C-alpha cells in the first residue's frame, strides 16, 4: 500500500525515532543486558540491589514488562505501518512513548527512589497507550483482522496490574502467578505472529511451498493456550499438566507444517524455527510433571528470547533498507540463546547445577543480546540506505 510521509518532517526527525522498532529494539535489548547482569551479580553475591518488591519479582517483572513488552510494541508499531499503509508513530510522540516505558525501568531498580504506587501508574499506561495507537491505525483502514493484537496487549496490562496488586497486598503467590500468566499471554502472541511470519519467511527464502492454514488447528491452538493462561492465573494446578500437554501437542502439529527442515542453511530462518520449538518442548516438560520452572524457562529464554532476537535481526535489516543477510557473528548469538535456554532449564532440573546454570545462562543471554546491540546499534541510529522514511 502507498505510504504517505512528509519528507521534510522525516528529515528533521532523528533517525533513531523515525519508527517504533528503532528505539524500542535498541533500548529494550540494552535494558535486558543490564537487568540480567544485575540479576546474575546479585545471585553470585558480587553486588546488592534493593529493587521494589523483591529480587525475584523484579527479575520476572522486568524481563516481561520491561524487555519483552518493549520489543513487542516496537514490532507492532512498525508492522502496523506495513499493514495499513499509513505512517507509523515517530518523532516526539514516539519519544514520549519510549520515555513512558523507560521511567518505570529506572525507578523500580531502587525501592527508596519513588513510591511503588507512582511507578505502577506509569508502568500500567505503556501497553494501553500502545494498544490505542495500534487500534487507531487499524480501525482507520478497517483491517479488523489485525485488531486481535489490541486485546492481547490489554490482557498483558491486566496481568501486570495483578502482579502489582499482589505485591501491594503482600500476596506473593498472586504476583507470581500473574507473571506466569503474562508469560503465557506472550506465548499466545508468539504463536499468533509465528504462524504468520515463519512459514511466510521460509517460503520466500527456500523452495518449500507453504500449505494453507487449517482453521480448526489454528482455533484449537489459541483455545488451548487461552485455557493454559486461565489455569495458571487461577492456580488450578491439577489441570496445569493437561493444559500444558494439550497446548504442546497442538503447537508441535502446527510447527511441523512450516517447513523447518528447509531452513537449516539460513540463520534468520533456523533461529526462528528452533526458538519457536522451545515453547512446545517447555510445555512438554511441564506436562510431564517436572519442575514448572524448567519448562517455563525453556520457553521463556529459548522461545521468547530466541524469537525476539531472530525477529529483531530480520526486521532491523529490512526496515533500514538492507539486504536480509545478518552479520556472520549473529549466527553465534542465535546459538547462544538456545544454549542459554538449555542451561536455564537444566538449572531447574538439577539442584546441584542451579547456581552455575543460572550464571552461565545469564552470560549466554548477555553475549547474545550484546551482539545485537553491537552489530545493529549503529544501523538503528542511521537513516535507511534506500532513502525511504522509516
In sequence order, what DSSP letters do the residues of 20-88 get, joined into one string?
THHHHHHHHHHHHHHHHHHHHHHHTTS-----SS-HHHHHHHIIIIIIIHHHHHHHHHHHHHHHHSSPP
| pLDDT value of residue 6 | 52
d(CA 65, CA 138): 24
**Position 1 pLDDT exceeds 70:** no
Q: Per-residue pLDDT averaged across 32-41, rounded?
A: 95
| pLDDT value of residue 205 | 85
Q: How confident is the model at residue 141 (pLDDT cuts 50, 70, 90)?
A: confident
pTM, rounded to two decimals: 0.92
CB half-sphere exposure, 343, CA atoms < 13 A: 17
Mean confidence (pLDDT) of the chain: 91
Q: Per-residue pLDDT averaged across 151-177, rounded?
A: 93
The position carrying cell 512528509 is 6
Q: How confident is the model at residue 343 (pLDDT cuts 50, 70, 90)?
A: very high
C-beta neighbour count of 311 within 10 angstroms: 26
Q: Per-residue pLDDT averaged across 341-367, rounded?
A: 95
For the stretch 81-96, what's the b/e string if a residue is b when 16 or more beta carbons lie within 10 angstroms of its beta carbon? Answer: bebbebbbbbeeebbe
C-beta neighbour count of 213 within 10 angstroms: 13
Classify residue 253 as exposed, middle or buried by CB count within 10 Å of its CB (0-12, 13-18, 19+).
Answer: middle
Q: How confident is the model at residue 306 (pLDDT cuts 50, 70, 90)?
A: very high
d(CA 24, CA 16): 10
d(CA 75, CA 92): 18
CA 213 to chain centre: 24
**Position 294 pLDDT exceeds 90:** yes
| pLDDT value of residue 8 | 54
All domains of the chain in start order, with CATH: 7-380 (1.20.210.10)
| pLDDT value of residue 9 | 54
| pLDDT value of residue 269 | 93
d(CA 13, CA 390): 10
Amino acid at each position: 500500500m502507498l505510504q504517505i510521509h512528509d519528507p521534510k518532517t522525516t528529515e528533521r526527525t532523528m533517525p533513531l525515532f523515525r519508527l517504533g522498532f528503532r528505539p524500542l529494539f535498541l533500548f529494550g535489548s540494552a535494558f535486558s543486558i543490564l537487568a540480567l547482569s544485575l540479576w546474575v551479580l546479585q545471585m553470585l553475591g558480587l553486588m546488592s540491589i534493593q529493587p521494589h518488591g523483591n529480587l525475584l519479582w523484579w527479575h520476572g517483572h522486568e524481563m516481561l514488562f520491561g524487555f519483552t513488552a518493549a520489543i513487542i510494541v516496537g514490532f507492532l508499531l512498525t508492522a502496523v505501518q506495513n499493514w495499513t499503509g499509513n505512517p507509523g508513530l515517530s518523532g516526539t510522540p514516539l519519544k514520549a512513548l519510549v520515555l513512558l516505558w523507560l521511567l518505570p525501568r529506572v525507578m523500580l531498580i531502587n525501592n527508596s527512589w519513588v513510591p511503588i504506587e507512582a511507578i505502577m501508574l506509569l508502568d500500567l499506561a505503556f501497553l494501553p497507550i500502545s494498544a490505542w495507537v495500534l487500534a487507531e491505525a487499524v480501525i482507520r483502514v478497517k483491517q479488523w483482522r489485525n485488531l486481535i493484537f489490541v486485546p492481547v496487549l490489554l490482557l498483558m496490562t491486566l496481568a501486570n496490574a495483578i502482579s502489582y496488586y499482589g505485591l501491594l497486598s503482600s500476596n506473593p503467590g498472586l504476583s507470581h502467578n500473574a507473571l506466569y500468566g503474562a508469560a503465557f499471554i506472550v506465548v499466545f502472541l508468539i504463536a499468533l505472529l509465528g504462524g504468520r511470519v515463519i512459514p511466510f519467511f521460509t517460503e520466500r527464502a527456500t523452495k518449500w511451498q507453504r500449505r494453507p492454514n487449517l482453521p480448526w488447528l489454528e482455533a484449537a491452538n489459541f483455545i488451548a493456550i487461552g485455557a493454559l493462561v486461565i489455569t495458571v492465573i487461577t492456580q488450578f494446578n491439577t489441570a496445569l499438566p493437561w493444559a500444558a500437554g494439550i497446548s504442546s501437542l497442538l503447537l508441535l502439529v502446527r510447527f511441523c507444517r512450516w517447513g523447518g527442515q528447509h531452513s537449516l542453511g539460513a540463520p534468520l530462518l533456523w533461529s526462528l524455527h528452533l526458538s519457536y520449538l522451545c515453547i512446545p518442548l517447555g510445555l512438554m516438560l511441564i506436562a510431564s510433571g517436572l519442575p514448572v520452572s524448567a519448562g517455563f524457562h525453556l520457553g521463556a529464554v529459548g522461545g521468547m528470547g530466541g524469537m525476539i532476537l531472530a525477529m529483531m535481526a530480520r526486521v532491523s535489516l529490512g526496515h533500514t533498507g538492507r539486504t536480509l543477510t545478518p552479520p556472520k557473528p549473529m549466527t553465534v548469538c542465535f546459538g547462544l540463546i538456545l544454549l542459554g535456554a538449555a542451561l536455564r532449564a537444566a538449572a531447574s532440573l538439577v539442584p546441584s547445577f542451579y547456581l552455575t546454570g543460572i550464571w552461565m545462562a545469564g552470560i549466554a543471554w548477555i553475549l547474545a543480546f550484546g551482539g545485537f546491540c553491537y552489530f545493529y546499534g549503529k544501523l538503528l541510529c542511521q537513516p535507511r540506505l534506500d532513502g525511504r522514511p522509516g
